[in-house]
Amino acid sequence: MAIMREELPGPAEEVYPACLIAIGELLRLTQPNNPWLETLDEDLELFRENHQVTQTLFYTNMGTLPDSADRDPWINACFNNLLWLGQVAGKKITPRTYGMPLWGAIGSTALCPRCHREYMARDWVGIMAANAWALDAVPRLLIEVGPEATARRSIEGADDPDCKAILEQVERLVAAQNIEITEENPITWPRAKCPACGAVLGTRSWTAGGSPLRLTAGEVGE
């Protein structure tokens, strides 16, 4: 589910450069040789000197951030939300009609049509938790603690107390739906069959969101 919100945590003229700084800090911490770092610095200088919004945040691919089992979802969730906020702010300063969608905190399960058992990979639980955290925390942190500190919070991943609390909350919500958390993605199991009854597994999407946080079931697929 794409998030179509357009609200910003502050004036666009403050949010846009803050996003450039935060994305740059995130890249410096994870990919110090990333070629986009120089471009982001140039964009920041252009905005400060001429109030000019460039195209960098709108349709460029800055690459994949480093893989790490416990940190990667949080880093990428922060990165995607910063990119989205920068686009929204940039469009308010210099109108544009294009930009990337921001996807919500979505997870996927394997659902058995026969015995109705449902399985979710632990990685999906982490991704849902990271995106639920980022959707709420990144806009707020950008203003409260500044762009550099916002980037560093995501680097801490599940070691950050707030991130850890969200992860534990999502795990409880998943368990409350009688969804079994698996170490491997059940969709990739041989022939994707239910380990309990042998029926071919289908899929179901879930979204984490709202206040208080809750899980909402989505479409069932084959």
Q: How far apart are CA 206 and CA 9, in angstroms?
A: 27
Domain that holds residue 130: 2-221
Residues 6+ apart with CB under 8 A from 151: 22, 23, 25, 26, 29, 78, 82
pTM of the model: 0.87
Mean pLDDT for the stretch of residues 59-63:
59
User: How many structural domains does the chain have?
Assistant: 1
Which of the residue ranges 34-43, 64-73, 89-98, 125-134 would you say has the lowest mean pLDDT? 64-73
Q: What is the pLDDT of residues 134-178, one digit of tens each?
A: 999 999 999 999 999 999 999 988 889 999 999 999 999 999 999
Q: How far apart are CA 159 and CA 91, in angstroms?
A: 35
Residue scoring higher pLDDT (220 or 62): 220
Mean pLDDT of the chain: 87
